[in-house]
Homo-oligomer: A and B are copies of this chain.
Amino acid sequence: MKIAVLGGGGTGQALAAAFANSGHSVTLGIRAPIGDSLTMPRPQGKPLADWTKDTGIAVVTLQDAAAGAEVIVNATLATGSIEALTTAGVDKMSGVIVIDVANPVDFSKPFPHPNLPAYSGDTSLGEQIQAAFPLARVVKAFNTLGVQVMVDPGLIGEPHDLFVAANDAQAKAVVMDLARSLGWTRLQDMGDIKGARAMEMFILIWLQIMSVTNGSLHNLHVAQA
């Protein structure tokens, strides 16, 4: 499958490399793939020039990455996601699958308590992206995890789950298959894209557990009777 990952941070790098490793045709798009953008440090990742050398994955513009892609991964900052997807041309791409990995929080407050801008429980970034791009099929996924576990679920020995929400059942199934290709075996369907409201709150729990355990290799599992 042709997959465009938008966003040059550690999450974008990890997902792009993992999808390439599992046999997909992957490009990584950023706003301006020149100069400092390629050499500056990236949180939870490498400078992109080094990363390209390691992975062989091209870093191109948002538009060039998205052109012809069947799946677009939104790993941009939540505050700029709709603008980045517009720049990439997603507004004209009928049926394209957009995997929204972003979390609408800002980290201007001390760890582990991010700021949630005026969250009132009646929307989510996933829903906002779906509303902004009605031709696309938005799937919220991979936002509930740390970078390492996201692409290597086997790092945790006990059962743990990948949570997925989308309006379009076929798009959801495609993303679940992509997740299986990364090693995920337990997929927790969170319903339609409104499920993103709950999924975007996972980061509070994830960060709190990181704070208490001083580790990042954890995830949630839904235990059921």
- B218 adjacent to A220 (CB under 8 Å): no
- A156 adjacent to B208 (CB under 8 Å): no
Q: Is there a chain B Cβ closer than 8 Å to A143's Cβ?
A: no
| CB proximity of A156 to chain B, nearest CB, Å | 5
- A155 adjacent to B218 (CB under 8 Å): no
Q: For A160, what are the chain B residues with a Cβ–Cβ distance below 8 Å?
A: 223
Chain A interface size band reads 35 or more
- A224 adjacent to B217 (CB under 8 Å): yes
Number of copies: 2
- A198 adjacent to B194 (CB under 8 Å): no
Q: Decide yes or no: A113 and B122 within 8 Å by CB, A155-B225, A205-B201, A221-B221 being known contacts.
A: yes
Chain A 131-153 per-residue mask, 1 if CB under 8 angstroms from chain B, else 0: 00000000000000000010000
CA distance A220 to B222 in the complex (A): 5
- A218 adjacent to B208 (CB under 8 Å): no
A residues with CB within 8 A of B: 105, 109, 113-122, 149, 155-160, 188-191, 194-195, 197-199, 201-202, 204-205, 207-209, 211-213, 215, 217-225
8 contacts between A and B (CB under 8 A): A113-B197, A117-B120, A156-B223, A191-B208, A191-B212, A209-B222, A215-B225, A220-B220
Q: What would 5 more interface pairs be, CB under 8 Å, given A115-B120, A213-B224?
A: A109-B122, A116-B121, A119-B119, A158-B159, A220-B220
